[in-house]
Amino acid sequence: MLNRLYIVGVVLSHHPLYTRFAFNRLEDDMPLFAKIRALLEMIKFSHTIFAFPFALTGATLAGLANDQFPTLLQIVWICLAMVGARSAAMGLNRIIDARIDAQNPRTASRHIPAGVVTKVEAWFFVFAATALLLLAAWQLNPLCLKLSPLALFFLVLYSFCKRFTSMAHLILGVCLAAAPIGAWIALRGDIGWPALVLGLGVLFWVAGFDIFYALQDMEFDREAGLYSLPSRLGATRSIQLARLFHLAMVVLLFSLVAMPGLGLIYLLGMLLVCGLLIYEHRLVRADDLSRLDAAFFNMNGYISVTIFVFTLADALL
């Protein structure tokens, strides 16, 4: 029982203050748990909230199409597949970018450059996360397992993109778009238009907010010879492009109302998402990035959860 509590402490270490305090005490006596916590912090495990709701939204749409909601076991395997894929991708990105991170003042304190996590430990973590993805895909259905190498290809590709193309933001969008599409495939064994529309919406959403995030490193990227849309277009034009991406996301999300089973509640949720996006864009200006963290972390978490909650509510009611 105690071991289970320790694991819960690891998973929730970013949130409740009590859990953080309790886990810090465990670290003094159990270095293994301190290392696990460092690995989870390295990949920003708490940011899984960005992708989790979209995987569950994809599962909800598949349930509507099947006229039967997924079982709890199916939801668990879908979530484990998503966690495995994201963890593997983030771990690999930290390994590949370790040298660049060490040169960038903003990222020099990340776990590998700072020596908190070794590359060997990070590679072990990546292999374990990849194994979790493959296991979950195998448990879901044969098509998921067959497509898992394609998902891994894009996860690896993203980590190298900044070295040769400014389109890394869109490749990251493809990676996260796999969450709702993969959930649909897991439950139906095919690829339907609602999953593709939602996945494309996620792609534009992620690309837009990743452009915001890249604004922080615009000057460093130029000096280091790295590629990104902000380093290529400048702050003002990049923010305008992010607005276009998010407008495309909104159009795609509203078009999903054509799916049987979605109606007024879903539309109300999408209107709320529009309001959140407008507020997010008001937080970021070309001459003022001081509120970028609020726009990136807080607002995007609210947006993904809102989409899932209103889609589920409409499906249930």
**CATH 1.10.357.140 domain extents, the chain:** 43-316
Under a CB-based contact definition with an 8 Å cutoff, are residues 138 and 202 in contact?
no
Confidence of residue 47 (pLDDT cuts 50, 70, 90): confident
What confidence tens digit (pLDDT) does each residue in 264-314 have? 999 999 999 999 999 988 888 877 777 777 666 778 888 999 999 999 999
Token reading at 15 = 């949130």
- Which pLDDT does position 17 carry in this prediction? 41
Contacting residues for 180 by C-beta, under 8 A, at least 6 apart: 54, 55, 57, 58, 61, 195, 198, 199, 202
Confidence of residue 254 (pLDDT cuts 50, 70, 90): very high
Residue with tokens 């890249």: 214
State the chain's mean pLDDT as an integer: 86
Write b or e for each residue in 143-179: b if 16 or more Cβ atoms lie within 10 A of its Cβ, otherwise e: bbbebbeebbebbeebbebbeeebbbbbbbbbbbbbb
Q: How far is CA 67 from CA 60, 64, 269, 312, 317, in A?
A: 10, 5, 22, 13, 13
Could you please state the CATH topology (level 3) that the domain comprising 43-316 is classified under. Tetracycline Repressor; domain 2 (1.10.357)
Rg value, the chain, Cα = 20
Query: What is the value of pTM for the model shown?
Result: 0.85
Length reported for the chain: 317
What confidence tens digit (pLDDT) does each residue in 150-187 have? 999 998 999 999 999 999 999 999 999 999 999 999 99
